Amino acid sequence: MTTRRQVLRGAAFTALSYGRILGANDRLQLGLIGAGGRGRSVMGQFQKTGRVDVRAVCDVYSARIDEALTRAPGAKGFADHRRLIELKEVDAVLIGTPDHWHKDVCIDAFRAGKDVYCEKPLTRLREEGPEIVRACRVHGRIGQVGTQQRSGTVYLEARERFVKSGLLGKVSHVHCIWHGGPPRPLRLEPAEKPPNLDWARYLGPVKWRDWNPPQYFNFRAFLDFGGGKLTDFGAHWIDVVHMFMGMDAPLSAVAAGGVFHTFHDGRTAPDTISALWEYPGFTVNFESFSVPRAAEYHVEFLGEGGRLWINRNRYEFHPADKGAEPVIQKFPGDITYQHVQNFIECCRSRKPPNADVYIGHRSCQAVLLANQSYIEKRRIRFDGDREEVLPLGA
Ligand SMILES: NC(=O)c1ccc[n+]([C@@H]2O[C@H](COP(=O)([O-])OP(=O)(O)OC[C@H]3O[C@@H](n4cnc5c(N)ncnc54)[C@H](O)[C@@H]3O)[C@@H](O)[C@H]2O)c1
């Protein structure tokens, strides 16, 4: 019997007739949906390749469109992503909306025959992942998730040099931390909604509430719009664990934390979180605190052959053998640029991208299980083949 996982995994990377087939010298025609900080920054990386024209920009807040258009003169502006993806001249879209819109925009874009680079976390809810993967496969599109570590030379080289070579040896635990710096109060202004911001369209799939500035400007602090630090940062690090360990489904997840700082500003996402996953043969923990100290973020693999420490521009391998010299290597390149290049190449070759939507879905699934544990205050046991939480007592 073919399992649902096999169906979702079985990529159909063919360009269907309604998507333009890019020739080797064709420039990719891009649309940006969600022109906030990250959307505009990644758009810049696309432009830096010299192989892309930005043809359209969409945002629910027209001030953001105006900002993006200063860097993409001549592009069309839209308030509704459905109008942008109707454009025949657009080959691919970059999605930089908050997490609660990723699923709908991805699926609409795939249906319209567009390739998609969607920022991480791919999903806000666990059930959204299979829907996105299915739409990508059914419509024969390329779907890359913005977990840029997958294309980063620092990660690719470390995996070859220490994991695949066997030097790291059997790994029994992976320690991940991401401290985002000191806690900050939420933005409570402006009290009146800007007239050029479509609040109803911003809320989209989230239940209605009146204008609420932090829920727009600091959406990460609210579980209705995202998954807090576990999906914001944890989605990156668990993806690195999956990439290095060759496994993508935990057996169980447990997490504890809370809103412990004293701003009393209504936030619902924990500012302090610790999660622990069990995989076949090893455990992973992730912690993220808002503490008054410098930001710190890395993943550390503890193997029988040594300790591999890695972040976005450096790795260190400390061999277990007494007296053996550590290997320390720095990498100056921008891993998002490398990831964008991989996407553009795959739009041409129709080969699976480094962070295909199935990979993004499985990584997001793992962190969302930990969020479920945090909310339900219990250990979540998981069947990764069926993608189902096991009932209590099973
Ligand atoms: N890969 C990374 O390292 C990385 C880094 C930062 C952010 N991100 C991700 O990028 C996404 C955006 O983060 P950000 O910091 O840029 O947020 P942001 O609030 O600065 O920008 C989001 C933009 O999306 C717009 N928007 C909301 N709903 C929309 C809709 N339906 N259609 C069109 N536009 C819409 C908002 O008006 C806003 O301009 C998040 O999912 C975040 O997790 C990834």
Minimal-distance CA residue to ligand 1 atom 40: 98
Point out the ligand 1 atom lying closest to the alpha carbon of residue 39.
16
| Domains 4-147+337-359 and 151-334+367-389 agree in fold | no
Top mutation candidate among 42, 59, 151 for ligand 1, by most atoms within 8 Å of CB: 59
> What pLDDT is stored for residue 313 in this prediction?
95
Minimal-distance CA residue to ligand 1 atom 17: 36
> Which tens digit of pLDDT belongs to each residue from 332-344?
999 999 999 999 9
In 3D space, the residue among 362, 389, 388 whose CA is nearest the CA of residue 376 turns out to be 389
> Which tens digit of pLDDT belongs to each residue from 165-182?
999 999 999 999 998 778
Domain boundaries, the chain: 4-147+337-359, 151-334+367-389
> What pLDDT is stored for residue 316 in this prediction?
98
Q: Percentage of residues in the chain with pLDDT exceeding 70? A: 95
Q: Is 264 helix (H, G, I), strand (E, B) or coil?
A: coil
Q: Is 43 in the pocket of ligand 1 (CB under 6 A)?
A: no
> What pLDDT is stored for residue 292 in this prediction?
73
β-strand pairing of 76-78 with 52-58: parallel
- List the chain residues with pLDDT less than 70: 1-18, 294
> What pLDDT is stored for residue 18 in this prediction?
63
Spacing, Cα 119 to ligand 1 middle (Å)? 8
Minimal-distance CA residue to ligand 1 atom 6: 38
Q: What is the CATH number of domain 151-334+367-389?
A: 3.30.360.10
Q: Is 257 in the pocket of ligand 1 (CB under 6 A)?
A: no
Q: Is 215 in the pocket of ligand 1 (CB under 6 A)?
A: no
Q: In what order do the strands lie in the sheet with 52-58?
A: 76-78, 52-58, 28-33, 92-95, 115-118, 143-145
Minimal-distance CA residue to ligand 1 atom 21: 36
Top mutation candidate among 46, 60, 238, 334 for ligand 1, by most atoms within 8 Å of CB: 60
> Which tens digit of pLDDT belongs to each residue from 223-281?
999 999 999 999 999 999 999 999 999 999 999 999 998 788 899 999 999 999 999 99
Q: Is 204 in the pocket of ligand 1 (CB under 6 A)?
A: yes
Quote the pTM value. 0.96
Tell me which of 3.40.50.970, 3.40.50.720, 3.40.50.1370, 3.40.50.300 is the CATH number of domain 4-147+337-359. Answer: 3.40.50.720
Q: Which residues pair with 308 in a beta bridge?
A: 301, 317
